[in-house]
Amino acid sequence: MKISRETVAVLQNFASINSGLLVEKGNTLKTISPQKTILAEATVTEDFDDFCIYDLSQFLGTLSLFEDPDLEFDDKYVAITNGNSRVKYIFADPETVVTVPKQKLDVASDIELVITKDNFEKASKAANVLGLQYIVFESDGESVVLKATDVKSSTSNEIAVEVDPDSVKTLPDHGFSMVFKMDNLKIIPDDYVVVISGQGIAEFTGSIAKYFVTVEQTDSKFNN
């Protein structure tokens, strides 16, 4: 089996969320952070059998040793070969990694809008430059801005990016301020349909992956 570049990119993103990964039979990959603050899932072109990786970054690093690796899966390991080189990579016990719960998540569509890749990158890059730890979806009931700021400080630097009004599908007539930690927004660069529930969870659906991210309850306000 060959693993596509697109799937490798998904796995690299998942490694930033959880160091381990349980893969279940089929073509859907899922992971969740140890703190249960972000859950990610993606449909890939490959069809896998069940296996578990304890150190996903190490596994990807092993793949990168080969120019064009071929993978042959066994019950207890995967053989990675290319030319005259071969690595036998042992699978982990699923109980050694944090895995995704079985129950399905449903997010009430109290707020629904589209965030473009460009706008999210503007906010997230500014957050990194300015040392800001939070991304905020904020509205006065008429328009929405995406802000990078420090919600813990009244004198914080911040950047605000206005969301295209035509991309806002559901907007309460009252104001809101829904706060997310930057550490919980480890998403693949893409355009996303964002659905946020006033109960404190958001769904980011892109063309490559979907993410469920918790809202910072203490700092957020759904009805300003």
Contacts of 178 (CB under 8 A, 6+ apart): 111, 136, 137, 138, 196, 202, 215, 220, 222
**In the sheet where 70-73 sits, what is the strand order?**
70-73, 77-82, 85-90
To the nearest 10 degrees (0 to 180), the angle between helices 56-63 and 5-17 is 150
**Domain covering 111-214: architecture:** Box (3.70)
What predicted TM-score, i.e. pTM, was given to this entire model?
0.93
Give the residue extent of every domain in the chain: 5-96, 111-214
Question: Do the domains 111-214 and 5-96 match in fold?
Answer: yes
CB atoms within 10 A of CB 119: 18
Q: What is the pLDDT of residue 104?
A: 86
pLDDT, one tens digit per residue, over 132-176 is: 999 999 999 999 999 999 998 888 999 999 999 999 999 998 999
Mean pLDDT of the chain: 95
- Residue range 171-187: mean pLDDT, rounded: 94
Q: What is the pLDDT of residue 224?
A: 61
pLDDT, one tens digit per residue, over 42-99 is: 999 999 999 999 999 999 999 999 989 999 999 999 999 998 999 999 999 999 999 9
CATH placement of domain 5-96: 3.70.10.10
